[in-house]
C-alpha cells in the first residue's frame, strides 16, 4: 500500500480582502511567514483574535485571501472558546455559525464561517488514479503509530491539479493518533 504524508492543521483563520482591510487597514496585504505543503498556501505573520462566548484566542491567518472569511478550529478549541463549530469541508460555510474577529485596526462580526474542517486527503488527478479514488469520495485512512494506530473513516478525497498529496487532520485527531506522519487508504 502506498503511503502519503499526514499533516496536522492547527486552528487558523482565512480572511476575505474586505475583512482583512477592516482588521488591518485599507489595502493591507498579508505577509508570508512560511509556505505550506499545498501550493500557493502560506502561514502569515499576521494573527487575529477570535472571540467566542467563553473566551478569546489569537490565531494565525493562512493566506492568500479568500472570497469569504472562515475560522477553522478543532472541537476542543470550539468548546473552550464557546463557539459552535460545524464539521465541514473548507469553504463550505453556509448555515454555520459566526463569531467576532479582532485585529489591530478594527473588528469584524462574521455571521457564518466557524467550522471544524472535515478530515481530507489532497491529491492531484494522477494521484487519484494511482489510489483508484475520485474527487469527493469518502475513504478510510489507516494510520500506524506507536501505541496509537487507528483508522480514520469519513475522510474526503479532494482532487485538483493545484494540490500536493497530503492528508490534513486537526489537532484533536492528531493527538488521538499519537502525532501521525504517514497514512494509507484502506477500503
Q: Average of pLDDT values for 8-26?
A: 98
Percent of the chain whose predicted confidence (pLDDT) is above 90: 97
Percent of the chain whose predicted confidence (pLDDT) is above 70: 100
User: If pLDDT is split at 50, 70 and 90, which confidence band does 180 have?
Assistant: confident
> For cell 475560522, what's the residue?
71
User: If pLDDT is split at 50, 70 and 90, which confidence band does 75 have?
Assistant: very high
User: If pLDDT is split at 50, 70 and 90, which confidence band does 86 have?
Assistant: very high
| Range list of β-strands (E), the chain | 4-9, 12-14, 32-35, 42-51, 56-63, 70-72, 86-88, 100-102, 107-109, 114-117, 120-123, 138-143, 150-159, 166-170, 182-186
pLDDT digits (tens, 9 = 90+) for 120-176: 999 999 999 999 999 999 999 999 999 999 999 999 999 999 999 999 999 999 999
Q: What is the CA radius of gyration of the chain?
A: 17
Where along the chain do its domains lie? 10-117, 119-186
User: If pLDDT is split at 50, 70 and 90, which confidence band does 85 have?
Assistant: very high
pLDDT at 36: 97
Report the alpha-carbon distance of residue 157 to residue 138 in Å, rounded: 6
Q: Average of pLDDT values for 24-38?
A: 98
pLDDT at 1: 75
pLDDT digits (tens, 9 = 90+) for 89-124: 999 999 999 999 999 999 999 999 999 999 999 999
pLDDT at 78: 98
Amino acid at each position: 500500500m502506498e503511503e502519503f504524508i499526514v499533516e496536522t492543521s492547527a486552528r487558523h483563520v482565512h480572511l476575505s480582502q474586505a475583512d482583512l482591510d477592516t482588521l488591518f487597514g485599507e489595502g493591507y496585504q498579508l505577509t508570508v511567514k512560511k509556505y505550506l505543503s499545498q501550493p500557493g498556501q502560506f502561514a502569515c505573520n499576521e494573527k487575529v483574535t477570535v472571540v467566542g462566548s467563553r473566551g478569546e484566542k489569537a490565531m494565525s491567518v493562512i493566506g492568500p485571501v479568500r472570497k469569504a472569511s472562515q475560522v477553522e478550529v478543532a472541537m476542543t478549541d470550539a468548546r473552550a472558546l464557546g463557539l459552535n463549530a460545524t464539521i465541514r469541508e473548507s469553504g463550505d460555510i453556509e448555515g454555520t455559525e459566526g463569531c467576532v474577529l479582532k485585529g489591530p485596526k478594527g473588528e469584524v462580526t462574521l455571521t457564518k464561517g466557524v467550522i471544524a474542517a472535515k478530515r481530507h486527503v489532497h491529491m492531484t488527478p494522477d494521484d487519484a488514479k494511482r489510489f483508484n479514488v475520485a474527487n469527493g469520495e469518502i475513504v478510510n485512512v489507516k494510520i500506524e503509530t506507536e501505541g496509537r494506530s487507528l483508522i480514520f473513516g469519513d475522510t474526503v478525497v479532494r482532487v485538483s491539479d493545484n494540490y500536493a498529496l497530503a492528508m490534513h487532520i486537526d489537532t484533536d485527531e492528531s493527538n488521538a493518533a499519537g502525532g501521525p506522519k504517514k497514512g494509507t487508504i484502506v477500503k
